[in-house]
Amino acid sequence: MQASHVRLIKILFVIIAIKLFIVLVLFGYNNSVEDIPEQSMVFIDELLVDKSDEPSWEQRLALIRKEMPSFPLEELHRRPLGEPKCGKVPAALGIDFSNDYWQTLNNANLTYHIFGAYYDNREKMIEAPLVRVLTMINHYGKRDVVKHPETFCQLWFRNRIEPVVVNVTDYKIIWIWGGGSTMVYPTLLSCCLPKTNDTKAQEAPEMVSLVTKRCDKARNLVRVVYEPDEASTAVTYPPQQQSKQNNSTQLQKKPLRFMVCVKAMDFIYKDLSWRLIEWLELMRLLGAGKVVFYDAQMHPNMTRVLNDYMETSPGFVEDSNSDTGSELYRELVNDCLK
């Protein structure tokens, strides 16, 4: 009996202690709220909205060109009004984009992944002037074995409504690796422009589309890149200023113009470090701004060469490691442009 009374007293004591604890906590919380100074309470009387000025139309075009360098949005907006009799310039929403860099064309059993186009009017080129279209095609073979389906280039010039339509005359395989319908291969298509007065002087087109029939409405459109020779566009200075100008030009750093993408390097047991150095210096002399390698287990000496270049010439060499069992590696082996 006495034990039960003791237990009851303990339970009551615990209940009273808990109640006192709760009361003390509430009392302390109320005091802490009352002690908060008024200046520490911040009231936002306006929304935190970005009030910076919107970019101008020219700035927007520059941003889009940076994100999508091959898409000729500027050229589209300055096209003259009027409907051509053959073909039609596709609207921006009527283009088959694969992503920001690639457009597609289906021709028979082939798929053309179109990357860019380049105007070539070099004097030693017999076929010049011509437009070269860089693509990836899911088929390749010897010229006398594989026949590519007929394809046309619709060349669009500035301030002209009608396009110049020519046949694709050559399919130059840049890299041949293995074989199979699931693989794609970098292919350079040639579109020869008609010569004017039996000379090679020709205005460069602004845009080009690939179509399967001469007057089809295209679903692809890329900018034609044309960088004229610096000598032909050089400014002539008076004789007294010529020497000063030459000295200042030599001091200026030559802008970096292109990058070289190398196949996956899988020379595990063969040491080609000396050849690698020779080739990298040749790329530097030819004006390459960057050389990107994909390391698929190279010889240790070759790895040391790349590490030395990355340390002594920052930005010139980039080494991208890749897992030989990954999907990315298979794409790199296929072609680094993909």
DSSP code, position 213: S
Residue 27 lies in a domain: no
Residues 137 and 283 both lie in one domain: no
Residues 221 and 259 both lie in one domain: no
- H or E, element range at 60: helix 57-67
Residues 190 and 323 both lie in one domain: no
Residue 15 lies in a domain: no
Question: Which amino acid, one-letter code, is at 283?
Answer: M
Contact 221, 72 (CB under 8 A): yes
Residue 28 lies in a domain: no
Residues 197 and 288 both lie in one domain: no
Residue 144 lies in a domain: yes
The token pair at 193 is 């422009």
Residues 267 and 216 both lie in one domain: no
Domain range spanning residue 329? Answer: 255-334
**pLDDT value of residue 179:** 56
| pLDDT tens series, the chain, 338 aa | 566 677 777 787 778 888 888 877 777 766 654 555 555 555 566 777 777 888 888 888 888 888 888 888 888 888 888 888 888 888 888 888 888 888 999 888 788 899 999 998 877 777 778 899 999 888 755 544 567 788 999 999 988 888 899 988 888 887 766 555 567 788 899 998 887 644 445 688 999 999 999 888 889 999 998 877 655 444 444 444 444 445 444 434 555 567 888 877 888 888 888 899 999 999 888 888 888 888 778 888 988 998 999 899 888 888 876 444 444 444 444 444 43
pLDDT, one tens digit per residue, over 4-27 is 677 777 787 778 888 888 877 777
Give the number of domains in the chain.
Answer: 2
**pLDDT value of residue 92:** 84
Residues 86 and 216 both lie in one domain: yes
Residues 80 and 175 both lie in one domain: yes
Long-range contacts of 83-86 (CB under 8 A, 24+ apart): 83/161, 84/161, 84/162, 84/163, 85/162, 86/162, 86/163, 86/165, 86/214, 86/215
Nearest to 155 by CA among 69, 86, 78: 86
Residue 19 lies in a domain: no
Residues 272 and 150 both lie in one domain: no
Residues 67 and 145 both lie in one domain: yes
pLDDT, one tens digit per residue, over 197-226 is 444 456 889 999 999 998 888 899 999 988
- Cα distance between residue 42 and residue 183, in whole Å: 62
Residues 150 and 266 both lie in one domain: no
- Cα distance between residue 208 and residue 6, in whole Å: 99
Residues 200 and 276 both lie in one domain: no
Residues 276 and 317 both lie in one domain: yes
Strand partners of residue 208: 155, 222
Nearest to 171 by CA among 149, 201, 194, 200: 149
